[in-house]
Structures are given as structure tokens and as C-alpha cells.
Amino acid sequence: MEWSIQEVVRASGVTSRALRHYDDVGLLKPKRIGANGYRFYDADALVRLQRIRILRQLGLGLPEIGRVMTGETDNGTALRAQLAALRRESERLERQIAAVETTIAKWEGGEQLMAQEMFEGFDHTVYRDEVEERWGAEAYATGDRWWRSLTAQQKRDVGQQHLDIAADYGTASAAGQDPASGEVQAIAQRHYDWLKTSTGTVSKGYFLGLADMYVADPRFAGNYARDGVEYAGFVREAMRAYAEHNL
């Protein structure tokens, strides 16, 4: 008993295109190919097709299914690997969802200018409340006057410097360097200098406070993240080491 491709389609719900694809990739060869090129499947092929479909519905890729079919990998191993992959993907999605929710909340909270300001430099106005609360209204006013005195060009330069510093931190972090190493501490030094230029004076407490803010405040995540991998924690460690030895 053998079936034409259309009969298989009706029985299995798999499209003929998919069947031809399985044939192309060697996953399911027809039992016989007529002189006219027509594909004919037998019962064994239908059994294999059923298994293929089940594994596909469970999310396995065709190459992996091929390995299972040939016995190269057994069902349990393949399914457990798939389960682990699905769990990872699920967790990633959950984080993604949390990130979108946070962003929506922020955007609706009137902080929609965040991204732009971030790029134009250290957007001190966003942190006005915090700065005044931690270091006094006078400290904020000083920084504000200095900032306003800059030309747009100068502001962008300051911003660019910050971006360079952030990028270098990111490179060091990605390279697996120690936050306390000489290279990273040199970046921290530039970071400190940049802050001093931007804000006038930088106390140890201010510097350490900033370090904590980098980790605690998601608004910084955009600045200290690369392709979704945040390294604010790395920056904090580098800043702490720097403060410990130099301030």
C-alpha cells in the first residue's frame, strides 16, 4: 500500500510543500519515486512523519529531529535539551516583558525625553530631586549654572566624552577584565575627571552614591548596557575601587 503526496496531505495535515522540504533535507524520503517523478509514501513513511510532526510541535528543529530519527540522539536527551532551551527562552521573554512594562511606566511618567537627554550628555535635570536631596540645593544650582553656560556644542562634547567612557567600560567588562585592574582604573580616572569637569567638585560620598545609582536606577541602564547586557555592576565595582584608593 502506498499513498500519493495528496493522500498523505489529507491524512496528516502536512502540506505538500513541507513534505518536499523534508525530502530535500533528507528527513523523510518517499518510499518510491515514479518514472514521472511523483513521490509515493508507504506506511513506514507515515509513521516517521507522525514522529517528525510531534517533535516539530514540541519545537525541535529539523536537524535535531533528523538526529533523533537516526537514533544518533535519543528522545529523552533531545527533549530535555529542548526543555532547557525553552526555559531559557521563557526567562528571556519574562525579562523582556518586565523591561517593556518599566519603559511604558517611565514614558507615561513624563520622562519621555530621557533618551534624548542621555545622549546629549549627563542629563542633570532629570536627577535634580535626587541631587538636591543628597547633596543640597546649592550643589544642584552650581551644576545647573555650569551646564547652562555651555554652548550646545560644548554640551555635545561633554556628552561624547561620557559616551566614550561608557563604551570603554563596556569593552573592559565584555573582555572580562577585573574592575580593580590598572586598565579599568584608568577609565575610572577619566570618569572621575569628567565628573569633576561637569559638576565642579566630586566628593567620595558623591562618587560612591553615583556608583550605587548606576546599579539601582534603570535610567542608567541605557547608558551602561550593550546589546542588552548591562554592565552597570561592573562600573560600580570599578568606581568603588577607584574611590577606595584615590578619594
Partner DNA sequence: GCTTGACATTGACGCTGCGTCAACTTGTAC
Partner DNA sequence: GTACAAGTTGACGCAGCGTCAATGTCAAGC
Amino acid at 84: A
Which range touches a copy of itself (CB under 8 A), out of 22-30, 163-171, 204-212, 232-240? 163-171
The option from DNA, a copy of itself, none interacting with 6 (CB < 5 to 8 A, set by class) reads DNA
User: Beta partners for 109?
Assistant: none
Integer Cα distance of 149 and 138 in angstroms: 17
Integer Cα distance of 193 and 196 in angstroms: 5
Q: How far is CA 166 from the centre of its chain?
A: 17
The closest of 168, 162, 54 to 118, measured between CA atoms, is 162
The option from DNA, a copy of itself, none interacting with 36 (CB < 5 to 8 A, set by class) reads DNA
Q: Does the protein bind DNA through residue 4 (CB under 7 A)? A: yes
Length of the chain: 247
- DSSP class of residue 121? S
- DSSP class of residue 187? H
CB of 9: closest distance to DNA in angstroms? 7
Integer Cα distance of 74 and 82 in angstroms: 12
Q: How many CB atoms lie within 10 A of CB 120?
A: 16
Q: Does the protein bind DNA through residue 45 (CB under 7 A)? A: no
* Binds a copy of itself (CB under 8 A): choice among 16, 160, 201, 246: 160
- Residues in region 56-85 near DNA by CB under 7 A: 56, 61-63
Q: Does the protein bind a copy of itself through residue 103 (CB under 8 A)? A: yes
Integer Cα distance of 208 and 202 in angstroms: 10
Give 7 or 130: the residue with its C-beta nearer to DNA: 7
Residues lying near DNA in the complex (CB under 7 A) are found at: 4-7, 9, 15-18, 20-21, 34-39, 56, 61-63
Residues lying near a copy of itself in the complex (CB under 8 A) are found at: 1, 10-13, 43, 46-47, 50-51, 53-54, 57-59, 75-76, 79-80, 82-83, 86-87, 89-90, 93-94, 96-97, 99-101, 103-104, 107-108, 112, 115-116, 118-120, 153, 156-157, 160, 163-164, 167, 170, 222, 225-228
